[in-house]
């Protein structure tokens, strides 16, 4: 690969990705043009599709903020998936017996705390014991998946349901929205946007936000500048977990109304892609999350053409690779 | 009777984890962080089932599965070494890709009701044992093994001494592909047919075993045996009383992860990562 210029390398990656997807679509014998159109535009084809897209958009935004937060401190929070699950489960478990607006509020609060608690071991191990956060969060994810699926098939299961799920919140105990014609935009969407706005403001305009960025960019320099690096790292992981847990709880009280096996369709994992795609700008999480949501909805729709759902993961993976290639090409030149 | 079933499961699970963990070892000790073991195994499991079924030959099936895992490993090399993508991001991308691609392949190409063709399990058990012995020997006694360790500890210094880190990592990742391929092939062979996400986190358990074993072949193999014992023994273990409560299967399933967390916190041994892990 020596001597091959960066532009060519990136170009080859993009062309290769497109060829791979088109070849895969052709293998299904579906009409490629129609499938591509549906993949990209199904979200805008009607009120139901658009509502479904918003339902994906919300967790992508909040989980995206969670990943972004940790990433700014130089941490890969792979554990967002687990924190999101724990937050969703605890959120429902708290809001179900209380009900009403109080239930929503306390559920969201409890979900955030639970997500934070689920991230704290990883933050502590990273900051004070020197263990890699990726490994600890992968372990915590697996434990979260086992724990939530055990609880939702046992103690928390709705005995009347034939499959692992909790009971559902009454519609009046769920977070409502603002109707725009046939589409109801949940308050959760607005909340997600506020979360992004507040996070962006905090990161850019406050001392602690600045300390976080400095710690992530150069821990040694941060240490010399008098920043408590270990505490900053620990707190970044804890807050990242809290945001992820809040996202799970919000998803539960605003969209799902219950917790069930498969509550997260990999939102936490995809959120890494959302954050990478957003680059260095926290506000860019919004368009990035929207792109992921549109694609996710499109992939569900192309199943009508006989194209398996897995195509969305394939495309997301290629997107992550392409955008990461651009992002890291600037930061780290290849050794020749 | 129960004992012999337990023993067989133990050997199969230990081989699945052992092959993958050794695969991870080649990659990580050469400096490439590998959270993509899971994806490579899943891909191999899918392709082994698919090609084995359509070709009617078990050997062709396994070969195709291993080749598929090598292909993902080559993609891993491209992303981390040529495109300099952060290793964690690259690994995630490969896992997501493998998850989607196997779902796609299974629904598009695998015809339901095709008869399956698999190599006997004993072949894999033998290969796993062989891989463990050969890896131990390679790292301890051979020039190639020492070069790999040198590149993993310090890519900069090894470059000064005339080694080519990119080349060494390429070779290491190909070995990773072969071992993960065999591991995935064993998973599908043991269950009889491919199903979505059938690796169900075993790639991560293998990674945990690797770390718990301090990135050393013998210790990692022992960790795999211990983790396999939890998985094989959960049928016997679940329902046993602990402090007066019946223990659910999930608890025993979670044990490897919990132990690894405790180990990471430095309470069980001190796992020291290769110094050059993730560096260019």
- For B131-146, how does the pLDDT look when each residue is reduced to its tens digit (9 = 90+)? 999 999 999 999 999 9
Whole-number pLDDT of residue B271: 57
Q: Which of residues 293-322 of A touch B (CB under 8 A)?
A: 308-318, 320-321
What value does the mean pLDDT take over residues B173-197?
Answer: 95
Q: Digits of tens for pLDDT over chain A (336 positions)? A: 455 678 888 999 999 999 999 999 999 888 889 999 998 999 999 999 999 999 999 999 999 999 999 999 999 999 999 999 999 999 999 999 998 999 999 999 999 999 999 999 999 999 998 888 988 998 999 999 999 999 999 888 988 888 889 999 999 899 988 998 888 899 999 999 999 999 999 999 999 999 999 999 999 999 999 999 999 999 999 999 999 999 999 999 999 999 999 899 889 988 988 998 888 899 999 999 999 999 889 988 998 888 998 998 899 899 889 989 988 876 544 443
- Name the phi and psi angles at A177, rounded to 5: -160, -175
Catalogue the long-range contacts made by B55-59 (C-beta closer than 8 Å, 24 or more residues apart): B55/B117, B56/B117, B57/B117, B58/B117, B58/B118, B58/B119, B59/B119
Q: Is residue B128 scored above 90 in pLDDT?
A: yes
Under an 8 A CB cutoff, do A138 and B261 touch?
no
Look-up of token digits 């997501």: B96
Of B79, B168, B278, B94, nearest to A9 by C-alpha is: B79
Residue B105, CA distances (Å) to A34, B97, B184 in order = 21, 12, 15
Whole-number pLDDT of residue A130: 84
Pairwise CA distance, residues B31 & B28, whole Å: 5
Pairwise CA distance, residues A178 & A189, whole Å: 10
Whether residue A74 contacts residue A215, with contact meaning beta carbons closer than 8 Å, is answered with yes
Other C-beta atoms lying within 10 Å of the C-beta of residue A206: 11
What are the tokens at A253? 């009280």
Look-up of token digits 């005995």: A159
Contacts of A325 in chain B (CB under 8 A): 79, 83, 85
Binning pLDDT at 50, 70 and 90, where does residue B274 land?
A: confident
Q: Taking the CA of residue A261 as centre, how many other CA atoms within 13 Å lie in the half-sphere pointing to its CB?
A: 13
pLDDT, tens digit (0-9, with 9 covering 90-100), for B96-122: 999 999 999 999 998 877 777 899 999
Q: Which of residues 23-62 of A touch B (CB under 8 A)?
A: 24, 27-28
Residue to test with chain B: of A20, A80, A310, most B Cβ within 10 A: A310
Radius of gyration of chain B (CA): 19
Of A332, A213, A217, A326, nearest to A276 by C-alpha is: A326
With left for phi above 0 and alpha for psi between -120 and 50, is residue B76 left, alpha or beta? alpha
User: B197 to chain A: nearest residue by CA?
Assistant: A310
Whether residue B231 contacts residue B255, with contact meaning beta carbons closer than 8 Å, is answered with no
Helices (H) and strands (E) in chain A, counts: 13, 2
**How much of chain B, in percent, has pLDDT values that exceed 70?**
92
Pairwise CA distance, residues A129 & A119, whole Å: 15
Q: Is residue B269 scored above 80 in pLDDT?
A: no
Whole-number pLDDT of residue A3: 55
Residues sharing a CB contact under 8 Å with residue A61, sequence separation 6 or more, in sequence order: A192, A193, A195, A196, A274, A285, A286, A289
Under an 8 A CB cutoff, do A329 and B84 touch?
yes
Under an 8 A CB cutoff, do B104 and A149 touch?
no
Average pLDDT, chain B: 89
DSSP-derived pairing of the beta strands A183-186 and A177-180: antiparallel
Residue A58, CA distances (Å) to A12, A265, A333, B138 in order = 33, 13, 35, 50
A78 shares contact with chain B (CB less than 8 Å): yes
Element (H, E) at A179: strand A177-180
Residue to test with chain A: of B36, B37, B104, most A Cβ within 10 A: B104
- Maximum CA pair distance of chain A? 66
- Name the phi and psi angles at B69, rounded to 5: -65, -35
Pairwise CA distance, residues A150 & A154, whole Å: 6
Whether residue A271 contacts residue A241, with contact meaning beta carbons closer than 8 Å, is answered with no
Any idea what DSSP says for residue B80?
Answer: I
Under an 8 A CB cutoff, do B159 and A276 touch?
no
ipTM of the complex: 0.89
- DSSP per position, B130-178: HHHHHHHHHHHH-HHHHHHHHHHH-HHHHHHTT--HHHHHHHHHHHHHH
Whether residue A79 contacts residue A137, with contact meaning beta carbons closer than 8 Å, is answered with yes
Residue to test with chain B: of A27, A313, A315, A322, most B Cβ within 10 A: A313
Pairwise CA distance, residues A42 & A19, whole Å: 22
What value does the mean pLDDT take over residues B25-35?
Answer: 94
Whole-number pLDDT of residue B280: 66
Alpha-helix runs per DSSP H in A168-309: 187-205, 207-217, 219-224, 229-251, 267-278, 285-301
Residues sharing a CB contact under 8 Å with residue A86, sequence separation 6 or more, in sequence order: A111, A114, A115, A118, A144, A147, A148, A245, A248
Whole-number pLDDT of residue B239: 62
Whether residue A129 contacts residue B266, with contact meaning beta carbons closer than 8 Å, is answered with yes
Whole-number pLDDT of residue A332: 47
A123 shares contact with chain B (CB less than 8 Å): no
A187 shares contact with chain B (CB less than 8 Å): no
What are the tokens at A211? 């300390």
pLDDT, tens digit (0-9, with 9 covering 90-100), for B211-261: 888 899 999 999 999 889 888 877 676 666 666 667 787 888 888 899 889
Of B182, B198, B179, nearest to B34 by C-alpha is: B179
Look-up of token digits 């603002």: A178
User: B261 to chain A: nearest residue by CA?
Assistant: A136
Of B92, B63, B67, nearest to B79 by C-alpha is: B92
Pairwise CA distance, residues B150 & B146, whole Å: 6
Whether residue A274 contacts residue A292, with contact meaning beta carbons closer than 8 Å, is answered with yes
Prediction pTM value: 0.89
Whether residue A27 contacts residue A268, with contact meaning beta carbons closer than 8 Å, is answered with no
Better pLDDT: A327 or B195: B195
CA A279 vs. chain centroid, Å, equals 15
What are the tokens at A317? 């993976």
pLDDT, tens digit (0-9, with 9 covering 90-100), for B48-57: 999 999 998 9
**How much of chain B, in percent, has pLDDT values that exceed 90?**
62
Give the closest-approach CA distance of B120 to chain A in angstroms. 30
């Amino acid at each position: 690969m020596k001597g091959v210029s960066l532009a060519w390398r990136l170009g080859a990656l993009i062309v290769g990705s497109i060829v791979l997807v088109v070849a895969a679509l052709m293998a299904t014998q579906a009409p490629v043009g129609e499938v591509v159109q549906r993949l990209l535009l199904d979200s805008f084809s009607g009120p139901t599709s658009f509502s479904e897209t918003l339902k994906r958009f919300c967790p992508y935004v909040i989980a995206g903020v969670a990943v972004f937060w940790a990433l700014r401190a130089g941490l890969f929070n792979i554990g967002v998936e687990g924190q999101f699950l724990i937050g969703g489960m605890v959120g429902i478990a708290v809001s179900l017996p209380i009900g009403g607006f109080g239930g929503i509020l306390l559920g969201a609060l409890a979900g955030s705390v639970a997500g934070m608690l689920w991230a704290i071991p990883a933050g502590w191990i990273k900051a004070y014991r020197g263990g890699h956060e990726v490994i600890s969060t992968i372990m915590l994810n697996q434990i979260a998946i086992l724990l939530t699926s055990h609880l939702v098939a046992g103690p928390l299961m709705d005995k009347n349901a034939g499959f692992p799920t909790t009971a559902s919140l009454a519609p009046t105990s769920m977070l409502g929205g603002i109707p725009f014609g046939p589409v109801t935009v949940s308050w959760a969407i607005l909340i997600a946007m506020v979360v992004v706005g507040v996070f962006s403001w905090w990161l850019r305009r406050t001392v602690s936000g600045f300390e976080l960025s400095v710690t992530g960019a150069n821990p040694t320099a941060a240490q010399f500048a008098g920043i408590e690096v270990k505490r900053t790292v620990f707190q970044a992981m804890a807050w990242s977990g809290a945001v992820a847990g809040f996202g799970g709880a919000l998803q539960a009280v605003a969209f799902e109304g219950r917790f069930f096996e498969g509550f997260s369709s990999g939102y936490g994992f995809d959120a890494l892609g959302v954050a990478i795609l957003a680059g260095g700008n926290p506000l860019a999480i919004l368009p990035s999350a929207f792109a992921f949501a549109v694609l996710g909805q499109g992939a569900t729709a192309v199943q009508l053409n006989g194209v398996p759902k897995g195509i969305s993961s394939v495309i997301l993976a290629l997107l992550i690779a392409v955008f990461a290639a651009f992002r890291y090409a600037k930061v780290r030149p290849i050794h020749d | 009777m129960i004992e012999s079933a337990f023993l067989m499961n133990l050997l199969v699970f230990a081989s699945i984890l052992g092959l993958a963990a050794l695969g991870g070892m080649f990659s990580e000790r050469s400096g490439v962080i590998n959270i993509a073991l899971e994806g490579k195994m899943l891909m191999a499991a899918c392709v082994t089932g698919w090609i084995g079924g359509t070709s009617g030959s078990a050997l062709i099936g396994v070969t195709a599965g291993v080749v598929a895992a090598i292909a993902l490993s080559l993609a891993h090399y491209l992303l981390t070494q040529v495109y300099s993508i952060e290793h964690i991001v690259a690994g995630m991308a490969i896992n997501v890709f493998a998850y989607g691609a196997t779902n796609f392949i299974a629904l598009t190409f695998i015809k339901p009701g095709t008869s399956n063709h698999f190599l006997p399990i004993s072949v894999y058990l033998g290969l796993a044992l062989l891989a463990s012995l050969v890896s131990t020997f390679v790292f301890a006694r051979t020039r190639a093994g020492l070069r790999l360790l040198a590149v993993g500890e310090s890519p900069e210094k090894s470059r000064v001494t005339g080694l080519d880190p990119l080349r060494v990592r390429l070779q290491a990742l190909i070995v990773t592909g072969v071992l993960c391929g065999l591991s995935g092939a064993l998973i599908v062979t043991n269950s009889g047919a491919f199903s979505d996400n059938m690796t169900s986190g075993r790639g991560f358990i293998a990674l945990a075993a690797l770390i718990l074993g301090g990135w050393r072949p013998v210790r990692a193999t022992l960790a795999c045996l211990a983790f396999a014992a939890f998985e094989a023994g959960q049928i016997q273990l679940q329902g046993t009383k602990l402090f007066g409560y019946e223990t659910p299967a999930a608890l025993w399933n979670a044990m490897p992860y919990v132990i690894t967390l405790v180990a990471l916190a430095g309470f069980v041994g001190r796992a020291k990562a290769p110094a050059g892990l993730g560096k260019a």
